[in-house]
Amino acid sequence: MTDRSEMFARVLKLEPGRSALLVVDMQRAFVLPGEAMEVPPAREMVPRIKALVDCFRARSLPVVFTEFVYSEAAPLLVGELHPEHKPAPRGARTGFGLPSSACLEGTPSAETIDGLRPLPGELVVRKRWYDGFAGTPLDGALRARGVTTLVVTGTMTDICVLATVIGAFNREYRVTVVEDGVATLWPEIQRATLDIIGRAYGRVVTAKDIAEEVSAC
């Protein structure tokens, strides 16, 4: 397949007044050291995401957050595939592959990290699946705000970010992914996922590129 980056860059530029920043699952469970589902590269990109959050806020452009939340009241397949989401028994060992209350509803683990804390009035969408649009009010809320273009950041690149990007594309949003504002555990999968996105679903650019575009809007 030929490189579509130039075409995507031309067609998918930010639209003044119609663009929003989407911060995917930058939660304590994935970002903080020692968590059972920790993604260490996610911590490295927090300053870049924070700079973009500030940039969008300064232009009065929407900043939207998703949070993956697991609930025992509605047990889903994801809890069987990733048992870390299941409640940790009192006093039991926790960690990768073990019930650890990761992103469990009502726990601090499910909250967005303090460094990216949503402001009062900003949209926070809590989801049960990887795709931020599946079974949530995200699409309707974005359309109500006049949003047609999404700038996507967050974790993990190959799971919730990719699923949400595809969900956005399937709903006719113009998608840009910030390559140094998304993270996963494996460098080779990071590169491959960004390549897939850049060939089929949207632009892949740097945080610096987006900051410059927003400032020019």
The 10s digit of each residue's pLDDT in 68-79 is: 999 988 888 888
pLDDT at 49 over 90: yes
Under the banding of pLDDT at 50, 70 and 90, the label for residue 16 is confident
Residues 6+ apart with CB under 8 A from 144: none
Confidence category of residue 175, pLDDT binned at 50, 70, 90: very high
**Mean pLDDT, range 197-205, rounded to an integer:** 95
| Amino acid letter, 203 | R
Position 2 scores a pLDDT of 58
Domains of the chain: 5-71+111-216 (3.40.50.850)
Mean model confidence pLDDT for the chain: 94
Q: Is pLDDT of 1 > 90?
A: no
Average pLDDT value for residue range 171-186: 98
- Beta bridge partners, 151, equal 21, 176
Q: pLDDT > 90: what percent of the chain? A: 80
As a dihedral over the C-alpha atoms of residue 208, residue 180, residue 18, residue 141, rounded to 10 degrees, the angle is -150
User: What is the per-residue pLDDT across 110-139, written as a single tens digit (0 to 9) for each?
Assistant: 999 999 999 999 999 999 999 999 999 999
Residues 6-17: what's their mean pLDDT?
A: 85
According to the model, what pLDDT value does residue 170 have? 98
CB under 8 Å to 197, separation ≥6 — which residues?
Answer: 162, 165, 175, 177, 204
- Collapse the DSSP code of 149 into the 3-class scheme (helix H, G, I; strand E, B; otherwise coil) and give the result: strand
Q: Which of 57-61, 80-84, 133-137, 181-185 has the lowest mean pLDDT?
A: 80-84
| The token pair that represents 109 in the structure block | 């683990």
| 65 DSSP β-pair partners | 23, 124
Span 51-65, pLDDT tens digits:
999 999 999 999 999
